[in-house]
Amino acid sequence: MINIPDLGSLHSKSKIVFLSGAGVSAESGISTFRDNGGLWEQYSIYEVATPEAWASNPELVQRFYNQRRKQLLEVEPNAAHLTIAELQQHFDVEVITQNVDDLHERAGSGKVLYLHGELRKSQSSADPALVYDIEGWEIKMGDCCEKGSQLRPHVVWFGEMVPMIEPAQELVAQSDLLVVVGTSLNVYPAAGLLHVARPGVPIIAIDPAELELHHFPAAFHIREKAGTGMQKLKHHLLGKG
């Protein structure tokens, strides 16, 4: 039995919103950003994840995301992704992910909102509304959209608008339970989504590290990795301890 809030009032029509970050994919073998050895220790955000980086060295930016995409094709969803998908059988589950990987979808989650874009898609560097599926792992310099502009990764870089933030806020505002999995809550506007939950709606965070949650009196922290933390939450939700 874990000492988490009573969730006994939740039923099959209750909306559970998961807000996931890099930690949910860590056990699949994808590096997080801010842990020891994380991606932002190996690369500078400013060299690979900003519009300025793309303007000054598009080859480097393209190579960085091509490598991420190549790695994504070699990994599989883990127990946490699978448990979140499994909960769809019992609740109205929505996933909001900051991750650009597709592991929630590959695990079977039917409703996934991508806050920071999708690694397996490209977009026109002239018109962000032109988005395409990528065959394989590589966008090559010289690959162009239908208007003749170079294709870039379909990811939201630092300093760019987050077009999906409003639909994400709407989902959180409708939630009966908000579960935050594997995110350091360092990046806005994503981290601000916790403020949108209605008063009294429980917030459960699953993350092995300490998190800044003192603004959220309704928050409970399961200090575990995503796989075991999700397993415990599932048992609790389904009344099995």
Kindly list the residues in this chain that would bind ligand APR in the complex (CB under 6 A): 21-23, 26-27, 32-35, 38, 98, 116, 182-184, 186-187, 207-209, 225-226
Residue among 184, 237, 206 nearest 81 (CA): 206
CA angle 180/183/186 to nearest 5° reads: 120
Among residues 81, 116, 221, 236, which one is catalytic? Answer: 116
Say whether the peptide bond before residue 189 is cis (omega within 30 degrees of 0). Answer: yes
| Residue 33 to residue 159: CA distance in whole angstroms | 17
Q: Are 78 and 27 in contact (CB under 8 A)?
A: yes
Cα torsion 230, 231, 235, 237 to 10°: value is 10
* Residue among 213 and 238 whose Cβ is closer to ligand APR: 213
Minimal CB distance residue for ligand APR = 23
116 is catalytic: yes
Residue 96 one-letter amino acid: I
* Residue among 77 and 182 whose Cβ is closer to ligand APR: 182
Q: How far apart are the first and last CA of the chain?
A: 4
Q: How far is the CB of 158 from ligand APR (least distance, A)?
A: 7
Q: How far is the CB of 175 from ligand APR (least distance, A)?
A: 19
| 155 sits in which H/E element | strand 151-155
* Residue among 145 and 154 whose Cβ is closer to ligand APR: 154
* Residue among 92 and 105 whose Cβ is closer to ligand APR: 105
Catalytic residue set: 116
